[in-house]
Structure 1
Amino acid sequence: MSTLTLNMNSMSLNDSNYSKEEEVTKLKNAKATVKHMMDSGLTQVPKIFTNQTELWQDESVETYNRDLKVPVIDLRGFEGEGKRRKQIVAEILDASKTWGIFKVVGHGVPKESINDMLEGVKKFNEQPMELKTEYYSHDPTKKVRYHLSINPISFDPVWKDTFSAHYEDQPVEDSEAFVPSICRKEMSDYVTYATELKETLSELMSEALGLRSDYLRTSGCIEARKLVSHYSPPCPDPSLTMSTSKHSDPFFLTFLVQNNINGLQAHHENQWIDVTFEDDAILVVIGDLLQLITNDVFKSTVHRVVPSTEGPRLSSGAFFLPSTKNHSRIYGPIKELYEHNNGAPVYRETSFIEYIKTFPRRGPCGYKTLSKFWV
C-alpha cells in the first residue's frame, strides 16, 4: 500500500500515459482507501481522482445560487386529521413536485442518535487498517462492505471512503449482528428511528398524492433499509476532484444526515444550491423510482458533494428500497394518479432489478435513466 501511495503521489497530473481501468484495479487489489493514502503521506490529489471535466463540471448555462434555500418542513402536529396535518401534506406535495428534496425537522429522530451514528462512522473509519480489512469489498451483494468509493457512472474514484450495511426488511435486531461491534448499536438505533420516520413520511406522501394513507407503505417499494455512510478526509485541492459526482438516486426514498462540514449541493432550476444541515434536520431525497411510480408528480433531484480542505466530512444515507424478494416485482405509474387527470402513463412498467441494471455504468455524471423508460 505504501508503494502504491508513493507512486500515485509522484505521478504528474498531466501524465496521460496510464489506463484508468488498470489504475482502478490496482486500487481495488491494494484495498486502497482515501484515508489510508492520506495517512501514508499523500500530499496531492492523484491523477486517477481527477475527473474528466465534462463528466462533472457545470455546463456554461448552469449557475450557482447562494440565496435559494431547500424547503424546510416541520412535522410537529402531523398526528390526527386536522388543519395542521393538511398544511404539512400540502408542503410535502409542493416540495416533492418542485424540488424533489426537502428537509424535515420535528421528525422524532433524537439528535443524539444522529450524532452517535455519525460518531460510529468516524470510529469505524479511524481504526487501524488491519481491523477494517475483513470488510473491504467492492461486491454489492455483500451485506456489509467497506471500500474506496468509485463512481459507477464515470468509473472515477471519488474523494471519500464508504461503509454500508444492508438491513433488508427484517427487525433490526435480527440483522444487526453482521455490523462491526464498534458502531453496531449506534447504527442499529438510528436505523430503527429512521424506519419509524419512513412510516410517518410514507403516510403523508401518500396523502399528498391523493391516495390512501397506507398506499406507499403497502406497495412493497420501501421495505428494505440500506445505511450507506461516507468518510471524506480533508482534500489537498478540492478543485481537482469530487466527493460525489452529480447524480440522482435510483431508489425510491433516501434520508441524508451529516456532520458540520458542508459540501452537498442540489440542482434546482439549472442552479446549484448549497444544502446545509442546521440542528437535527434530516434531508429527504426523492429517488428516480418514486418519480416513475408517481408518473412525474414527484421529481427526483440531481445532487453532488464537493470536497473540502476541512475534515473529515461524515455523512450517512438511509436508502429505502424493495426487499430482495421484491426485486423482480413489477412497478409502474400509479393508475389512480394519471386516470384522475384523464392522462396516460409517462413510463412503462419495470422491476427494481431491471432499473438498477439499466442505471448507467459509464457516461456523463448526472445522466438520468428515467428517459429510457418513457412510454
Structure 2
Amino acid sequence: METMKIASFDRVNELKAFDETKTGVKGLVDAGVSEVPRIFHHSSLKLSNPKPLSSDLQHLTTIPTFDLGGRVFEDETKRKNVVQGIKEASEKWGFFQVINHGVPLDLLEKMKDGVRGFHEQSPDVRKQYYVRDFSKKFMYLSNFDLFSSPAANWRDTFSCNIAPDPPKPEDLPEICRDVMLEYTKHVMTLGEFLFEILSEALGLDPNHLNEMDCSKGLLMLNHYYPPCPEPDLTLGTTQHSDTSFLTVLLPDQIEGLQVNREGYWFDVPHVPGALVINIGDLLQVGVFFDAACNKRQVH
C-alpha cells in the first residue's frame, strides 16, 4: 500500500503574507514566480469551458456597437434608432459598445498608458499607496475581497472616488494624476448623455435620470492583469454584476472580457476606440423604483 501526503495549506497566513508584500500580483511576477500560488486557484467548475449554444441563440455573436455621432444627432431618425438599439441591447444583453462617443481617442490611449505606468512603477513607489482602508479617496491594492472570496483573482487595482467629492490633486499619483482628472471629466459628460438616452429608452423625459442625480457620482477603478504563468488555474476577474448604476469600461487590445446571456458566455471583441457600457444593478432597480441613484463606475 502506498500513501501520499498532501502539503498543508494555511490559507489565512498565505493571504496575509501576500497582502503584506504591498506589491500585489505584479510583485509576484516581478519576483519570477513560475507557479500560481494556491490562494489564486479557482475551482474547475468556474474554469470549465462554456456549454455549446442552444439552437435558438446560435445566430447571436456578441454585444452590439452603436455610433453616438459625437453625441450630436442632427438627424432625429438616427437618434431614435440609437435609442431603440440601446433599449434592446440593455434588455437582452445588459451591455453594449459605443464609438464616436465624444471622448478623444488620444485621451483613451493616454489613460491606458497612465494605468500601466502606475502599476509598472518601482515596487517601493507602489507600496506608498497600498492600503486596505476603503474610506480613502485613493486606494491601491490587490483584490478588494482578498480575505473573503473563495479564490483571489490574478489582478491588481487602484481606485479613486472622483465625484461628487473630488480628491485633492496632491493625493493622486503624479504618474497618472493629470490624465485621470481629464479623462473623468469627459466620462462624466458622456455619462450624462447616456442617461439621457437611457431615459428616452425607458419612455421617460430625457432629463429624468440626470434629475435623479444619477450622474453626480463617479468611482474610478483601474485594473491591471500581469502575465500569468498558469492561466488555466486562475481568473483575472470572476463572474459578477456591477452594483453601480452604470459602468463605462475602457478596454485594451487584450481580449478576455465575456458577458453572460441566458447561461451562455459570449466574447466581447476589441473595437478600436470603443467604450463598453454595462447596465448596473441600480439601473435595473431604478426601472421599477423611482429612487435616487448616486454612483456609477469607470473601469
- Give the shorter-chain TM-score range: 0.7 to 0.9
The 5-angstrom pairing of residues 159-308 of structure 1 reads 159-170=154-165, 175-295=168-288
Aligned length: 286
Match of 2:133 in 1: 139
Rounded Cα–Cα distance in structure 2 between residues aligned with 1:145 and 1:104: 29
Structure 2 counterpart of 1:107, one-letter code: H
Structure 2 distance, partners of 1:150, 1:275, is 25
Structure 1 runs (4+) deviating above 3 angstroms are 57-67, 77-81, 150-153, 174-177, 349-353
Distance 1:178 1:66 in 2: 49
**8 Å contact kept, 1:151–1:158:** no
TM-score of the two chains, using structure 1 as the length reference: 0.70
Deviations 1:161-193 (A, max 9, x none): 1111111225x6x64332111111111111111
Amino acid at match of 1:100: G
SS of the equivalent of 1:211 reads coil
Task: Give the structure with the higher percent strand.
Answer: 1
- Structure with more relative contact order (C-alpha pairs < 8 Å, separation 6 or more): 2
Counterpart residue number, 2:78? 84
Match 1:109 to one of 100, 103, 108: 103
Residues 150 and 157 in structure 1, CA contact (< 8 A), matched pair in contact too = no
Q: Is the contact made by 1:48 and 1:157 (CA closer than 8 Å) also made in structure 2?
A: yes
Where 1:226 maps in the other structure, the secondary structure is strand
Q: After TM superposition, give the deviation of residue 258 of structure 1 in Å.
A: 1.9
Q: Does the 8 Å CA contact 1:206/1:216 hold for their aligned counterparts? A: yes
Report percent identity of matched pairs: 33
TM-score, normalised via structure 2 length: 0.87
Contact 2:242 2:281 in 1 (8 A): yes
CA displacement at 1:106 relative to structure 2: 1.1
- SS of 2:13's partner is helix
Separation in structure 2 between the aligned mates of residue 108 and residue 175 of structure 1, nearest angstrom: 26
Which letter maps to 2:194?
Answer: L
CA offsets 1:100-128 (integer angstroms, 9 cap, x no match): 00000110111111110110011111111
Which of 53, 67, 78 is the aligned partner of 2:44?
53
Q: Which runs of 5+ in 1 are unaligned?
A: 1-13, 296-332, 335-348, 354-375
Residue identity in the other structure for 2:8? N
The amino acid that maps onto 2:121 is: Q
Deviation at 1:67, TM superposition (A): 6.4
Contact 2:251 2:276 in 1 (8 A): no
Aligned residues of 2:50 and 2:264 also touching (Cα < 8 A): no
Aligned to 1:154: 149
The runs of 5 or more residues in structure 2 that have no matched partner are none
Instruction: Give me the whole-angstrom Cα distance separating, in 2, the residues matched to 1:233 and 1:250.
Output: 25
Structural RMSD (CA): 2.6
1:34 aligns with 2:29: no
